[in-house]
Amino acid sequence: MPELPEAETIVRGLRRTIVGRRIRRAEVLKPDILREAKRSFGPKVRDRVIQGVDRRAKNVVIGLDDDAVIAVNLGMTGRLLPFDLPPRGGARPTHPAVRFRFVDGGVLVFDDVRRFGTVECLDATTWEARSAAMGPEPLADDFLPSDLHAALQRSRAPMRSWLLDQKKIAGVGNIYAAEALYLSGVHPLRAASTVEEAEAVKLHGAIRQVLSDAIAAGGTTIRDYRNADGEEGTFARALHVYGRDGEPCAACGDTVERVVLSNRSAFFCPTCQPT
């Protein structure tokens, strides 16, 4: 599933290609991905100019000239692919769900194999309320180690579950939770409230490090993820524990293990991350 680094990589690519373009119309090919009625979505975006592209948590947020936004959650396999001309032949997206056709002839395609992603157009007030319900951005300057520690003290949830809760911290998913916990030496099953202040400082730094490194690598491609240019991310080769169960830990040589937590796998080194 695309997480913060993948969404950020896509946003940076889209800024180069779609800002300033006017949407002629939206063609909804798979209405089930809309979080609103198809008949209301089209008129909201028709003839609107794209003013900017941003990210909030794992969402791509396309700002329009009437202060509304097109909010896109990539789900598990969603991709946003811009083309200067409508794609043909082998370049054609395989599972298009929405096409935004521009006045100048270009097109932006939301392509989603499994169709767990969502698209909607929200007015500014509604989007602000939606954003306010999410947790802090972990790469923001005002996200401090003391804030992380204080929030952890209020929960008995396992650390991996806590990091995946988008109301606690925005944008972190299974891949980067596993890597941040490994780098900070915190076991994924440990209760959040047991993390001490010095450990929270280390975890804070690990979260920011792994997210920043993944952005620099263009994200992590395990299977489906592609950036706005259709290219794979390269951070998979730098993963320490995610998906590496049964392999030796690069730091200590012990075997990386996997446990299932809330129906999702968590990966850790039992020596580097003691319970």
What percentage of the chain reaches a pLDDT higher than 70? 98
Where do you find CATH 1.10.8.50 in the chain? 145-268
Q: What was the pLDDT predicted at 17?
A: 94
- Which residue in 94, 98, 96, 92 sits closest to 71, CA to CA? 98
Q: What was the pLDDT predicted at 90?
A: 57
- Which residue in 239, 233, 97, 102 sits closest to 179, CA to CA? 239
Q: pLDDT confidence of 91, banded at 50, 70, 90?
A: low
Q: What was the pLDDT predicted at 93?
A: 87
Catalytically active residues, by annotation: 2-3, 58, 264
Q: Is the pLDDT of residue 227 over 90?
A: no
Q: What was the pLDDT predicted at 61?
A: 98
Choice among 19-23, 192-196, 261-265 with the minimum mean pLDDT: 261-265
Q: What was the pLDDT predicted at 246?
A: 98
H/E stretch holding 79: strand 78-83
Integer Cα distance of 93 and 230 in angstroms: 10
Q: What was the pLDDT predicted at 234?
A: 86
pLDDT one-digit tens code per residue, 204-217:
999 999 999 999 99
* DSSP type of residue 89: G
Average pLDDT, integer, range 173-177: 96
pLDDT one-digit tens code per residue, 47-65:
999 999 999 999 999 999 9
Q: What was the pLDDT predicted at 230?
A: 78
Tell me the HSE value of 145 on the side-chain side, using a 13 A CA sphere: 13
State the CATH class of domain 145-268. mainly alpha
Question: Could you identify the residue written with the tokens 């596993």?
Answer: 178
pLDDT one-digit tens code per residue, 190-200:
999 999 999 99
Q: pLDDT confidence of 135, banded at 50, 70, 90?
A: very high
Q: What was the pLDDT predicted at 244?
A: 96
State the CATH class of domain 4-132. alpha beta
Q: Is the pLDDT of residue 264 over 80?
A: yes
Integer Cα distance of 193 and 182 in angstroms: 18
Helix (H, G, I), strand (E, B) or coil at 78: strand
Question: What rounded mean pLDDT belongs to the chain?
Answer: 94
Integer Cα distance of 262 and 144 in angstroms: 28
- Which residue in 27, 21, 54 sits closest to 41, CA to CA? 27
Q: pLDDT confidence of 107, banded at 50, 70, 90?
A: very high
Where do you find CATH 3.20.190.10 in the chain? 4-132
Q: What was the pLDDT predicted at 69?
A: 98
